[in-house]
Amino acid sequence: MQLLKQVVEEFSVKEIDPVALKIEREGVTQGILNSLAEKGFLGALAPVEYGGAGLDERGYLVLLEVLAKHSPSVGMYVLLQNSLFISPILRYGTKELAQEIVPGIASGKSSGTIANYLLSGGKISIEGSSLSGTSDLVPNSSAQMCLVLAKSGNDSQLVLVDGGFSIVSDSRKLGFRGLRYSTVSFEGAKAKSILLSGGGEREVQNLYNDSSSHVSAMALGMSEAALDMAVSYAKDRQAFDAHLIEFQPIAFSIARLVSEFNVYEKYLYGISSVKEGMMLKELVLEFSRRASRASLQVHGGYGYIEDSGVERFYRDTMALELLTGNRISDMSELSKELLGGESAKY
Amino acid sequence: MRLDFNLPEDVEEVKQKARKFAIEEFNDKTASRHDLEELYPYELRKKAFEAGLVRIDNPWGVLLTMEEFCRVDPGLGLSILASVFGSELLLLYGTDEQRQKYMEPVLNGSKISAVAVTEPGAGSDVAGISSKLEKSDDGFLLDGQKMFITNGTITDFFYVLARTSPPPSKEKRHHGMSVAIVDRYWPGVSVNKLKGKLGMRATDTAEIKFEGVKVPNENIIGEIGKGFYYIMTFFNISRVYVAAQSVGIAQGALDELLNYVKNSGSNEESLQFILAESASKLEAARLLTYKAASLVFQFNPDPALTSMAKYFSAEVANSVTESALEYMGQKGLLSRLERLYRDSKITEIWEGTSEIEKLVIARTLIKRAMQGDQIA
Ligand SMILES: Cc1cc2nc3c(=O)[nH]c(=O)nc-3n(C[C@H](O)[C@H](O)[C@H](O)COP(=O)(O)OP(=O)(O)OC[C@H]3O[C@@H](n4cnc5c(N)ncnc54)[C@H](O)[C@@H]3O)c2cc1C
């Protein structure tokens, strides 16, 4: 794991850091995608026979944490391809489908996304194999393929769509500006394959529950970056004839955040169940916002300007929560997991 | 005795007028465009002046206009109201000639002003600035660099804080500074717009360079060497307006949340608690702000109270926008809450960071305690 961390760290320093701010302004470039593919990161969770890297869960967490530390947008792209696209295809699709789709994703030749009305509140429905409706905030909306949670009567299906959907308008972007987010229309699109013909909502919620640890790794990577920046700025910047780090309120606040980071990171790599991932996610999403807000504050006026590279963590940590979950349903899931099915009804 | 929490009728009228103006003019499309493209709203500023909404001779009116404007869109609202930024300096310390030449055109909307205190190397530590006003034959020569100056590229002139003499000792670092009025178009003045702010993107922010700028004697405000005190007195006024910005932002976020709850018909208790907590915090911030403002407007400011209002309201603005966004989820992301969340952060930074406000509060209280005073 230490070795993998080193590999991803070196990769990020070499390939991502020089263009990290450019990615924010112009998007994740094909060049970055190619080098991610070359390292096997785009298909991190896919088995080797599908062109993936076949990483285990912990290896995948390392990858996400380090990538998010260097570029949250790149981390999010990899999470999207693996946790929310490849995973459900491997789990619910046929072997043939996986063989057809996954290698293209892993090699960066094509890319995927997911439209989930549980998060966006959009209305997508399916009749036979024909889809209709639109979905807001579809991430990586220029992707060729999309997993769609669609209503069919009183039930819901999870289907794969290959092309045939179109971008209606781009959304404002609080975070992950390196990815394109759009309102997407599925009017007239056809399901290429039906992965789940019923019970889609429950399974999609499970999919998001399962990726709690992945989201946690992202949150921790971003927190680490924000805190590193806070520490080095506070050691360098002077006010009132002292370095900022010499003032107790600043030192106490950063010291506490660094402690929290270390405790959470240790827990992350010991996670052995979905429940543990969900518990950690509940803590670290809030923590990562607190850490990035503190870092921005330490940077004073500079922190408010994009060029400082700090304010994006403030935006991205909030966007991470909103784009990978929903506060009330996530907390209800966690409550039920910990306290039983009757909890958190009202 | 009765504490009356109602606004006088004329102030209530201004408030309603400001609310109406904001709702009509700051629609989401306009606000989004100015935010996205970082455009200063020249036209809207003109309209607000024509509507009589920018009148610092009616401070309560301005305070409530600030609140109502920021409630709808902080970036646009602030751009408009900050065009008179610094006028109190001349109101308090200027000569009649200075007021006539500089302040009046600003107050009638034909000119814009800016306050240039912060430097690349010194923000919170105002006494740490290094810009210099050096005595010359017929006035002063100004050299130095200023950072994050609101209205920097659109202003007609700056109120500049600079050193007229070195600090006499470490303890007396705040001695020896003066405030000069410097025209934007004088030789040696150059401005550079800072792009890519997190929020308040309709406002204009710039770095300024002064290189051998000739400043005539009559452009120095008040007494030489007293600049630090003038600026601190000014901040004691302007901070209540920042507190009002925060109150407005928090109210705007609460409006969005209430609207969401109303329309979604959701009756989950977790959401109701967020609503209740946010509304309570907001009300506390508003009362504190009005109390501090009331003292400021009676020419009897309490710096501790002003700093409490500024710090507390900023915290409330940030926490209310954060929880509203969190609980509305992607619906919030698609609404103007997204903008409010980015805009709110600045209230903890400008015109004294929250840390600096806390130091002002504590030091004022300690000083009073040492003098044996009782806090009211
Ligand atoms: C959009 C924008 C508009 C602005 N407009 C203007 C303007 O019009 N005119 C103008 O003059 N300035 C303006 N400013 C500057 C603003 O007032 C300063 O950014 C602010 O005062 C903080 O100064 P700084 O950025 O140098 O941070 P620093 O002073 O370097 O502070 C960095 C951090 O250290 C903390 N800190 C400093 N000293 C202590 C201490 N003793 N104890 C504990 N913590 C401490 C601060 O609170 C802050 O969190 C603007 C800034 C922005 C971002």
pLDDT > 70? residue B326: yes
- The residue assigned the tokens 């050193």 is B163
Distance from Cα B132 to the centre of ligand 1, integer Å: 20
* Per-residue pLDDT tens over the stretch B65-112: 999 999 999 999 999 999 999 999 999 999 999 999 999 999 999 999
Query: Least CA distance to B36: which residue of chain A?
Result: A172
Size of interface A-B (CB pairs under 8 A): 108
Map residue B313 onto helix, strand or coil.
helix
What DSSP string runs through A145-168?
EEEEEEEETTEEEEEEEES--EEE
Q: Are B201 and B31 in contact (CB under 8 A)?
A: no
The pLDDT, as a whole number, for residue A171 is 87
Distance from CA of A137 to the nearest CA of B (A): 8
A300 and B348 within 8 Å at the Cβ level: the answer is no
A240 and B124 within 8 Å at the Cβ level: the answer is yes
A301 and B329 within 8 Å at the Cβ level: the answer is no
Of A240, A307, A328, the CB nearest to B268: A328
**CATH 2.40.110.10 corresponds to the domain B111-225:** yes
Give the separation between CA A311 and CA B234, rounded to whole angstroms: 29
The pLDDT, as a whole number, for residue B251 is 98
Domain ranges in chain B?
9-84, 111-225, 229-370
Structure tokens, A80: 């999207």
| CA–CA distances in Å: residue B10 to residues B64, B69, B291 | 12, 18, 18
φ, ψ of residue A146 to 5 degrees: the values are -140, 130
Which segments of B117-230 are extended strands (E)? 132-136, 139-150, 157-163, 177-183, 189-193, 205-216, 220-221
pLDDT > 60? residue B374: no
What CATH code is assigned to B229-370?
1.20.140.10
How far, in whole angstroms, is CA B15 from its chain's centroid? Answer: 18
Ligand 1 interacting residues, C-beta cut-off 6 A: A 237, 239-240, 244, 247, 249-250, 297-298, 300-302, 304; B 115-118, 123-125, 148-150, 197, 200, 205, 346, 349-351, 353, 355-356
Give me the architecture of the A112-198 domain, per CATH: Beta Barrel (2.40)
What is the mean predicted confidence (pLDDT) over B22-30? 97
Helix or strand run (H / E) with residue B327? helix B303-328
Which residues are CB-contacts of B43 (< 8 A; sequence separation ≥ 6)?
none
What is the mean predicted confidence (pLDDT) over A70-94? 97
What is the mean predicted confidence (pLDDT) over B49-69? 95
Helix or strand run (H / E) with residue A183? strand A181-185
What is the mean predicted confidence (pLDDT) over B349-367? 97
What is the mean predicted confidence (pLDDT) over B137-159? 97
**What single letter denotes the amino acid at residue B215?**
V
Q: Are B222 and B230 in contact (CB under 8 A)?
A: yes
Domain ranges in chain A?
2-107, 112-198, 211-339
* Per-residue pLDDT tens over the stretch A105-162: 999 999 999 999 999 888 899 999 999 999 999 999 999 999 999 999 999 999 999 9
- Kindly indicate the confidence band of residue B116, based on its pLDDT and cuts at 50, 70 and 90: very high
Instruction: ipTM value, please give it.
Output: 0.96
The pLDDT, as a whole number, for residue A172 is 76
Query: Least CA distance to A307: which residue of chain B?
Result: B196
Q: Which atom of ligand 1 is nearest to the CA of B203?
A: 1
Task: Give domain A2-107's CATH superfamily.
Answer: Acyl-CoA dehydrogenase/oxidase, N-terminal domain (1.10.540.10)
DSSP secondary structure code for residue A255 in this structure: H
What DSSP string runs through B37-80?
HT---HHHHHHHHHTT---TTSHHHHHHHHHHHHHH-HHHHHHH
pLDDT > 90? residue B266: no
Give the separation between CA A19 and CA A35, rounded to whole angstroms: 13
**CATH 3.40.50.720 corresponds to the domain A211-339:** no
- The residue assigned the tokens 């030091």 is B363
Distance from CA of B124 to the nearest CA of A (A): 7
Half-sphere exposure (Cβ direction) of A223: Cα atoms closer than 13 Å = 27
Q: Are A102 and A52 in contact (CB under 8 A)?
A: yes
Of the candidate ranges A21-35, B80-94, B157-171, the one whose mean pLDDT is the lowest: A21-35
